[in-house]
Amino acid sequence: KQFNILFINDGINAPIMYISDVEALTGFRYCNICHRQAFRIGDKNLQQSMRNHMKKCQKNDGKIIKKVFLEKFAKPFVPHILSNKTYKYLLANNLTHLFKPTGYYITYDIETLEKKVNEKFGDSSQVTATLIPYAIASTVKLASGIHSFYYDIRTEDILDKWLEQLFEEAKQVKKDNKYEDETIPQYYEVPVIGFNSAKFDASVLFKNLKSKDWAISKYLGSSTIAKQIIVKHQSSSIHLRFVDFKIYSMQHKLKDAVRDFGNGTYKKGRFPHEFINTNNYMDELNKSEPFPIEAFDNKLRNKKLSEVKYKDYLVEAAKHKTRWDYLKHYNILDTRVLIEPIDYLIELMFKYNVDMLANISMSQCSNAIKYSMAYNGFDINGDYNCESTDKSIEITQNYWRAKVESYIEQDSKKDRDSSNNVTIDDYDYFKELFKNQRCHMCNARFTWKNRPTLDRIDNNKGHSKDNVIPCCLYCNVCKANRDENQMKLMIQLRKYALFKQLPMTLTSDEGYQLLRKGITGGISNVMHRYNIAGETRINHYEYDKENKCVYSIDSDYVMTHVVQLDFHSQYPSVMSGEPNALNPYTNHIIYMPAQLIERITDQDRCRQLIYDTNRFSNDRLVVDQMYLFVAEIKGHTDEKYINEVINW
């Protein structure tokens, strides 16, 4: 029998609670087939949505089928440029010296009390406790300086009052982040950053994010983790963008983030969270003497505060008249200590022209940095022309007929006169034109890999013979609805990618499916999440024939040296291009795959590529002429021999 459990992990302890009614707890109903798709119970279209989903689920045996939409033609993959509208515009207009990171923002932190409620929901579900916010603080970083504000439970509707001031403070933050030239495309959302807020603070705050004055305009995340929430004010049009600092770092604790990224000026404070509850908070916080050392006992982790740390607390507590004053200091400090770590990461990523707060995850930032390094030598005015060795295209009548029909359809949709459009009878003329002329924008020859289209000279007229000139499909699309500088940037990026053999987007579904099969989720078989010298044992895999499963078996040997802490940390080496003697191919360097060229099924050509001895050359010029390939082979290992090959 299957059981629903709630697994809570604080990094040290992992309590587990049995959930008797998932729907009552989450407010969602889940598909009975895949058990993954969720539907909000309050949705008026709940039944219809579930029926439609379950029909698909039954066809796929409960498997989630992901649809992949590929490009019609290969485009350069340049996330640090194309995913940032501000940098893209500035680069296109030779104004990159104006580019600046989002450097002004607001941090926040909520302190809560546990209130026991023991409310029943139906016959089998019961909520034992809820969290009551009793203090909230924010620190605002502006061009003029840093200041903080604070509310506690002694103020009525503290969350609404805090949000009102938050929107007011955000006006100046928005102004400080703004470019003076308003024609520059830019991001106007004001970052509001918490620590571990995606799971905790956002859930406490969620119901207050909708009122007569403001409402949620965008929500990114699941029902339990809010990766990003954008809240819009109805009258001022200020947008607050709530995010979690932890999406930009791996630190599990605030004190670790402050230690690793701070400048040493501030340290996280101490507060007896378990000691304060809904029954005693008013009496205890009204007192003027410091908390006793026993108040800091952590029963969940079975820990006590040391005498040294308690003395540090007493020094800080002596600066405040009451415990309310100390709570204010502690709450504000939790928001103030985040400033230096955030600024450190912003500056670190901006070295690579990446605006951290314009991204929504650490992986997105690292991906942008990776390609920023790959495009480090890009110059929008550079000469990156390279002559294709492919044979010039000779279009077929069927190809031309499809083009003619497509142009008529395009002009009809835009209400343009198509009576004088090119026709099937113009086939011979355009066949020679495409064969002998080049793209009027990028000067590239037309091949079957770089197919021709017709670009209209006067965009108010149709595709008549006297109003069209030959153009690459890529250049034609780049020209549509863009200014000359944006068009030039897109064309130059493609030229640079082809010249430097950098990654391009996939256009072939057949190629995608082949490459997708090779994605296993790791560099190799991962036996340990972390490897620690002197502790972690060297393991091997064994296949259990009877139970049809694989086990990781400890050996008697212990690791003495560790190459990397975990398998994730080895990923950067794939893109670094640093020579590695263990790699016998391509001059000992791992190369990055570029544009997908073709799928080869001819076995003689396959053998020619695989057995080409130039793959082992140490000559950079020879290696640069080689093709990277993925070889798909059919093989079978009899079950009785699996253990002989499983650890390869």
Do 230 and 170 form a contact (C-beta atoms < 8 A)? no
Confidence band of 400 (pLDDT split at 50, 70, 90): very high
pLDDT digits (tens, 9 = 90+) for 37-64: 888 887 888 888 888 888 888 877 766 6
Summary mean pLDDT of the chain = 86
Residue type, 243: V
pLDDT score at 387? 80
- Mean pLDDT for the stretch of residues 456-478: 91
Q: Is the pLDDT of residue 519 over 70?
A: no
- Mean pLDDT for the stretch of residues 19-44: 76
Backbone angles phi, psi at 226, to 5 degrees: -95, 100
Question: Domains plus CATH for the chain?
Answer: 5-59 (no CATH), 101-372 (3.30.420), 397-500 (3.30.40.220)
Cα of 643 vs its chain's centroid, Å = 38
Nearest to 358 by CA among 564, 191, 559: 191
pLDDT score at 5? 56
Q: Which two tokens stand for residue 554?
A: 């400890």
pLDDT score at 280? 92
pLDDT digits (tens, 9 = 90+) for 149-192: 999 999 999 999 999 999 999 999 999 999 999 999 999 999 99
Q: Is the pLDDT of residue 263 over 80?
A: yes
pLDDT score at 124? 57
Greatest C-alpha distance within the chain: 97
Compare 26 and 506 and report the one with higher pLDDT: 506
Strand, helix or coil for residue 495: helix
Confidence band of 415 (pLDDT split at 50, 70, 90): very high
pLDDT score at 585? 79
pLDDT score at 2? 59
What predicted TM-score, i.e. pTM, was given to this entire model?
0.78
Under DSSP, the state recorded for 336 is H
> Which range among 81-95, 375-389, 438-452 has the greatest average pLDDT?
81-95
Q: Is the pLDDT of residue 500 over 80?
A: yes
Distance CA 483, CA 95 (A): 16
Nearest to 211 by CA among 155, 153, 163: 163
- Mean pLDDT for the stretch of residues 249-262: 86
Enumerate the β-bridge partners of residue 136. 110, 151
pLDDT score at 560? 81
Q: Which two tokens stand for residue 264?
A: 């040493």
Confidence band of 131 (pLDDT split at 50, 70, 90): confident
pLDDT score at 103? 96
Do 462 and 417 form a contact (C-beta atoms < 8 A)? yes
Q: Is the pLDDT of residue 637 over 70?
A: yes
- Mean pLDDT for the stretch of residues 236-244: 94
Of 57-71, 219-233, 338-352, which range is least confident? 57-71
Q: Is the pLDDT of residue 384 over 50?
A: yes
- Mean pLDDT for the stretch of residues 546-561: 84
pLDDT score at 125? 60
Q: Is the pLDDT of residue 344 over 80?
A: yes
- DSSP codes joined into one string, 68-135: ----SS--B--HHHHT-HHHHHHHHTT-GGG------EEEEEEEEEEEEEEEEETTTEEEEEEEEEEE
Of 134-143, 319-328, 493-502, which range is least confident? 493-502
- Mean pLDDT for the stretch of residues 94-123: 87
Q: pLDDT exceeding 90 applies to what percent of the chain?
A: 48
Confidence band of 513 (pLDDT split at 50, 70, 90): confident
pLDDT score at 484? 86
Backbone angles phi, psi at 49, to 5 degrees: -65, -40
pLDDT digits (tens, 9 = 90+) for 567-600: 444 444 454 567 777 778 788 887 777 888 888 9
